Amino acid sequence: MADPKILIIDDDPAHLKLYSWILQREGFVTTTALVENNKIELPPAHEQFDLTLLDYLLQGLKAVDVAQKIREQWPGMPIVVLSDMMWAPDDMAPIANGFIRKGEPQLLVEKLMEMTRPGAAGNQL
């Protein structure tokens, strides 16, 4: 089986580097998309990913709007929300498949491994 491909979206370049590094160390292949100046440039639609890791608090854009763009471009791709909040944000519940608190890298890796293994599917919020 190929290494799982993860699309990481954040508005902080340092966070993109950090999460890429954490996931790459565990065998994931990562691509990043930076939210800046109230916009995001997603990778081309022909690129396929196993999962999107989406920061919740973005400068200038709402995470739910970014998630909607992801759903339009990659309809079946799971979205995991990453946030400092203690629980999954209410506005993301209908669209996200998972939630991870920031600052818990081992839990993040475990959750993404679980969600990207063959046969994994469904809303896990």
DSSP string spanning 56-115? Answer: SB-SSSBHHHHHHHHHHHSTT--EEEEESSSS--GGGTTT-SEEEETT-HHHHHHHHHHH
Q: Report how far residue 26's alpha carbon sits from residue 34's, in angstroms, rounded to the nearest whole number.
A: 22
Q: Name the residue ranges covered by the structural domains of the chain.
A: 5-116
Fold type of domain 5-116: Rossmann fold (3.40.50)
Give residue 1's pLDDT.
56
pTM recorded for the entire structure: 0.91
Q: How far apart are CA 34 and CA 109, in angstroms?
A: 21
Q: Which tens digit of pLDDT belongs to each residue from 94-122?
A: 999 999 999 889 999 999 999 998 766 54
